[in-house]
Amino acid sequence: MSYKRLTPCILIDAGKAVQWFDDHTVISEDVVALAKHYSEEGADELIVFDLSHSIEEHEETIELMRKISRVISIPMVAGGNIRSLEDVKKYLYAGAKRAILNFSKPVSHDILEEVSKRFGKGKIGVSLNDFDGLFKRQHQIAEYSSEVIFMHRLDLNSVLNVTDIPCVVLTDTMEQAEILKILKSDSVKGVSGLLVSQLDMDFNAFKQICTDEGIKMTSFESMMEFSEFKLNSDGLLPVVVQDYKTNEVLMMAYMNEDAFNHTVKSGKMTYFSRSRQKRWIKGETSGHFQYVKSLTADCDNDTLLAKVEQIGAACHTGNRTCFYQPIAGSDYDSKNPLQVFESVYETIMDRKEHPKDGSYTNYLLDKGIDKILKKIGEEATEIVIAAKNPSPEEIKYEISDFLYHMMVLMVERNVTWEDITKEMADR
C-alpha cells in the first residue's frame, strides 16, 4: 500500500460532535460545519460514527450525514448503530462511500454476507476492537468487506500476517511519534482518532512531516516541475479553469511558481494576483473554493487546464462563470446533458419557490407526493408501451415525459442532480 491517508472522525451524539466514544464532551455544536472544515483543511477522508441512543436520534444523525456529504469534497465512511440491511442502505443513501459494521456485535457477523452481496463488497467495511476478532473471522471479513478499522493500537505486523485488507487505525493517542509509527506499517492505509481530528490540525503540514519520514501520503503530485513550463512575458503561467462535471469554462487566471506549488500541495486552486502582486487562494475570503480534480498542460507547455469542483460562484460578480457576456455568434441550444437536466431542475425549483398560475408543475407540487408518484408510474408504463412500437420518436417523447416527472419528484424530495451523479459515480 503506497499512499497513506489522514482521516479525522466525527462522533455524533444528540446531534453534536463529541470528544470520544467514552468522553461525550461536546467539541462542536455544528457537525456539518466541522465536516466542511476538515474537508477544506486538507483531510483525505472522513469517518462519521453514530452514537445515538434512540431511533429518533439515529434518524436525525442519518440526516446530518446526508448534509455532511453535500458540503465535503472528500469521501465519507459511516458506522455506528448498524443492525440490519436497512441501516446500511440508509447510510449509503445518505452519501457514505462505505458503511462500517461493528464486529464486536454478533449482529454484524450475521448480516455481513447479506449486505455485501446486496451493495457490493467495496461498500462495506468492519471495525474491530482486538486482533482476536480479526483472527477468528479473517476469511469472512476478507470475502465480504473491503476495509478494516481497528479501534485500538495493535501489533500491526501480526495484522499484516493475517490479512491484506486495507486497514485504518483509529486511536486515542496524541503522540505524533506513535502516529508516524502506525503509518509506516505496510498494513495501514490511514490513521484516524484524536490527534488527526483536532480542530486546529494542519493536515498539509503534517503530511509534509510524514513525507520527510519517508511515508507516502495521499496528495497531488505534479509530473512536471514549474521550470518546465513556458511562461508569458510577465513570468506567469495562464490557467484555464473548467467545471470537472460539465466542462463549463469558469475563469481564466495566472500562476507563478509559488501559486503552482501551493495548488499541488493543498489541492485548492491558488493563483497570482496581477493587480495585488501577491498569491491568492480562490475562495479564501468568499468561501467559493475550487478543489482540484486534475491539472493538464497543453501541447506547448505554456497553458494549464484545471478541472475543478467549484463551490459557489467562480466570478467575483456572483455569476457561476466569468464568461457570461455574449458579444458575437448565433444563438444555439446547449446539448450538454447535465446542463439541460440542471436547467429543467432549476425551472421546477423556481416554480416551487415562486408559484405561477396555470403551471402544470405547480399543479403537481400542490397535489403532493401521491399525485407525483401516480404520474411517474403512468409515464413508466407509457415507456414500456412505446418500446413495443416501431416508431423511435414515440419512445423518445415518453422518456422525456418520464424524466420531467422524475425531476418534479426530485425537487419535492430535495434530491439534486449532484446527489444523483455522485451516487452513480460511486457505483
Q: Where are the domains of the chain?
A: 5-212, 226-310, 337-425
The answer to whether the CB of 353 falls within 8 A of the CB of 346 is no
Look up residue 98 and give its three cell numbers.
Answer: 462505505
Residues 6+ apart with CB under 8 A from 203: 6, 41, 42, 43, 44
Per-residue pLDDT, 130: 74
The confidence score (pLDDT) of residue 195 equals 95
pLDDT at position 162 = 63
- The CATH code of domain 226-310 reads 3.10.20.810
Its CATH class, for the domain covering 337-425, is mainly alpha
Q: What does the pLDDT profile of the chain (427 residues) look like in tens digits? A: 468 999 999 999 999 999 999 999 999 999 999 999 999 888 999 999 999 999 999 999 999 999 999 889 889 999 999 999 999 999 998 999 999 999 989 999 999 999 999 999 999 999 988 767 777 788 888 899 999 998 865 556 666 666 678 889 999 999 999 999 999 988 889 999 999 999 999 998 899 899 899 998 876 667 788 999 999 999 999 999 999 877 889 999 999 999 999 998 888 899 999 999 999 999 988 989 998 988 999 999 999 999 998 988 999 998 889 998 888 766 555 666 777 888 899 899 999 999 988 899 999 999 999 999 999 999 999 999 999 887 777 888 899 999 999 999 999 999 988 888 777 776 6
pLDDT at 397: 84
Q: What is the pLDDT of residue 99?
A: 97
Sequence-separated (6 or more) residues with CB below 8 Å from residue 66: 94, 95
Per-residue confidence (pLDDT) for residue 264, from 0 to 100 = 87
Q: How far apart are CA 232 and CA 234, in angstroms?
A: 5
Pairing relationship of beta strands 290-297 and 278-281 according to DSSP bridges: unpaired
DSSP-derived 3-state class of residue 264: helix
Rounded Cα distance between 27 and 47, Å, is 16
Residue owning grid cell 422524475: 406
Q: Count H helices, E strands: the chain? A: 15, 17
Q: How far is CA 301 from CA 104, 133, 342, in A?
A: 55, 54, 34
How far CA 314 is from CA of 41, 272, 280, 352, in Å, comes to 20, 16, 14, 26
User: How many C-beta neighbours within 10 Å does residue 227 have?
Assistant: 7
Kind of pairing, strands 270-273 and 278-281? antiparallel
CATH number for the segment(s) 5-212: 3.20.20.70
Is the separation of the CB atoms in 217 and 6 below 8 Å?
Answer: yes
Four-residue CA torsion sign, 159, 160, 161, 166: positive
Strand order in the sheet with 76-79: 5-6, 188-193, 167-171, 148-150, 124-128, 98-102, 76-79, 46-50, 9-13, 16-20, 23-28
Confirm if 248 and 242 have CB atoms less than 8 A apart: yes
Per-residue pLDDT, 217: 86
Domains 226-310 and 337-425 share a fold: no
- pLDDT at position 129: 82
- 3-class DSSP state for residue 102? strand
